[in-house]
Amino acid sequence: MNFDFSDDQKQLRDQARKFLAEKCSSKAVRAVLDGQSPYDRELWRGLAEMGFLGVAIPEEFGGAGAGHLELCVIAEEMGRALAPVPFSSTVYLAAEALMLAGSEAQKRKWLPRIASGEAIGTLALFEGTGNPSPKAVKLDASNGVLNGVKKPVADGAIADFVIVAARSAATGRDSDISLFIADTKAGGVDAKALTNLDPTRGQAELVFANCKAEPLGAPGEGWAIIAQVLDRAAVLVAFEQVGGADRALEMGRDYALDRIAFGRPIGSFQAVKHMLADMYVSATLARSNCYYGAWALSTNAPELPEAAASARISATQAFQHCAKNNIQVHGGMGFTWEFDCHMYYRRANALALGLGSLSYWEDQLIDRMRKRNAA
């Protein structure tokens, strides 16, 4: 059994950690948090130069052609550093959808530009309150043009292209949904940035008005593609969550060692020690579930849907748990803007929702386990 990343992959992780420690300091994250810029452009260019944006994109489309295990280790570091860039929407959602369903021409057009950092992409799925569901997709795609409103769309205000889930028929079946690619520079799409919990990752409302868009994948295949994209992205985001959880745990541990109260380090009180031990437990369970997700993702295993849901739930819980208790360990200082704790708390809660909420994935997991047991 070799249920671990290879030495080369671990080296890549170290390389990414070193790069992000230098280019993605807390100060850099705060520049985006404070609204000085919608994302960190310099970091985005650096990620492209390092080859991280196209690590899982095949070489023939301008990527590094490494694979998804490599992307997982980079994702973990992006989460750890709270990288304020449209990495997840461009790489986990848009690039994955293109690689799954794009035509040769579409892949040739967009994938090299993703790898080089020239194009930011995203997926426009949600239309207001609610979890992923074909029934919730109302945006109209009749007559070859898109009409309707999508929100929230991750990084929608800075995206160069958007993959849009739209209604192309009205039979009441999943096959009513088709996917389209819209070039935001070509007109017909209006973007408005929306205030959100985690300003280091933007959210937007996109209004489509007679927007010309080309189909992605076969008509009626939209929901099947989205389901696959969400599973793949769930594993990758789970690695970001595990990276964030580990960092929040370390911050709490370090503070507990430094802070003296009642004449002793607060980390010597069992109430604090046990809280940190429980954070370690959550983070460890999540990491192990994520490794299984990584294996399933990288091998395209039939177990992927179940593995992805497990990784998603476990990592969501771990990051939320570690981020909230990191603040608790810090006491009053943890509740200041000055300390970084709230940035992890914001990110943890934003990531918990982006691909559908915890309760949605819990439901998915049980469905998938039942399916396996019935088979």
Partner 1 sequence: MNFDDTPEEAAFRSQARAWIAANAPKEYEAELRASSLGRTALKNANLLEVAKAWQKKKADAGWACLHWPKEYGGRGASPIERVIWQQEEGPFSKLSAVFIIGHGMCGPTMMAYASEEHKRHYLPPLASGEKIWCQLFSEPAGGSDVAGLRTRAEKRGDAWVINGQKIWTSGAHYSDYGILLTRTDPDVPKHKGLTMFFLDMKSKGVEIRPIKQASGHSDFNEVYFTDVVIPDSQRLGAVNDGWNVALTTLMNERMSIGAGVATGFPELFEFCSNLMLDDRPAIEDRNVRAKLANWAVKASGLKYTSFRAISALSKGERPGPENSIGKLVAASMVQDVATFALDLQGAAGVLSGPEAELAGKFQAMLLRAPGTRVEGGTDEIMRNIIAERVLGLPGDIRVDKDLPFNQIPTRGRN
Residue of 110, 295, 344, 345 interacting with partner 1 (CB under 8 A): 295
Q: Checking DSSP bridges between strand 145-154 and strand 203-212, what pairing results, if any?
A: antiparallel
The distance between the two most distant Cα atoms of the chain, rounded to a whole number of Å, is 74
Q: Where are the alpha helices (DSSP H) in 144-260?
A: 222-258
Task: Select the span of 106-114, 133-141, 273-281, 347-355 touching partner 1 (CB under 8 A).
Answer: 273-281
By the 8 A CB rule, do 243 and 77 touch?
yes
CA distance 35 to 67: 34
- In the complex, the smallest distance separating the C-beta of residue 266 from partner 1, rounded to whole angstroms, is 10
Task: Considering the complex, state which of residue 5 and residue 110 has its C-beta at the smaller distance from partner 1.
Answer: 5
What tokens does 251 get? 């911050």
Q: Checking DSSP bridges between strand 214-216 and strand 177-183, what pairing results, if any?
A: antiparallel
Residue 314 within binding range of partner 1, rule CB under 8 A = yes
What tokens does 285 get? 């369970």
CA distance 178 to 368: 24
Task: Considering the complex, state which of residue 221 and residue 250 has its C-beta at the smaller distance from partner 1.
Answer: 250
CA distance 261 to 237: 37
Residue 253 within binding range of partner 1, rule CB under 8 A = yes
Residue of 197, 285, 350, 353 interacting with partner 1 (CB under 8 A): 285
Give the SS3 label for residue 160: coil
Residue 255 within binding range of partner 1, rule CB under 8 A = no
Q: Which of 115, 29, 124 is nearest to 78 (CA)?
A: 29
Verify cis geometry, omega within 30 degrees of 0, for the bond prior to 152.
yes
Binding mask 43-82 for partner 1 (x = CB under 8 A): --------------------------x-------------
Residue 365 within binding range of partner 1, rule CB under 8 A = yes
CA distance 318 to 238: 10
Binding mask 178-217 for partner 1 (x = CB under 8 A): ----------------------------------------
- In the complex, the smallest distance separating the C-beta of residue 282 from partner 1, rounded to whole angstroms, is 9
Q: Which of 149, 152, 221, 209 is nearest to 180 (CA)?
A: 221
- The values of phi and psi at residue 138, to 5°, are -110, -25
Residue 14 within binding range of partner 1, rule CB under 8 A = no
- In the complex, the smallest distance separating the C-beta of residue 162 from partner 1, rounded to whole angstroms, is 31
Binding mask 323-362 for partner 1 (x = CB under 8 A): ------------------------------------x-xx
Residue 235 within binding range of partner 1, rule CB under 8 A = no
Interacting residues toward partner 1 by CB under 8 A: 1-6, 69, 249, 253, 256-257, 264-265, 267-268, 270, 272-274, 276-278, 280-281, 284-289, 291-292, 294-295, 298-299, 309-310, 313-314, 317, 359, 361-363, 365-366, 369-370, 373
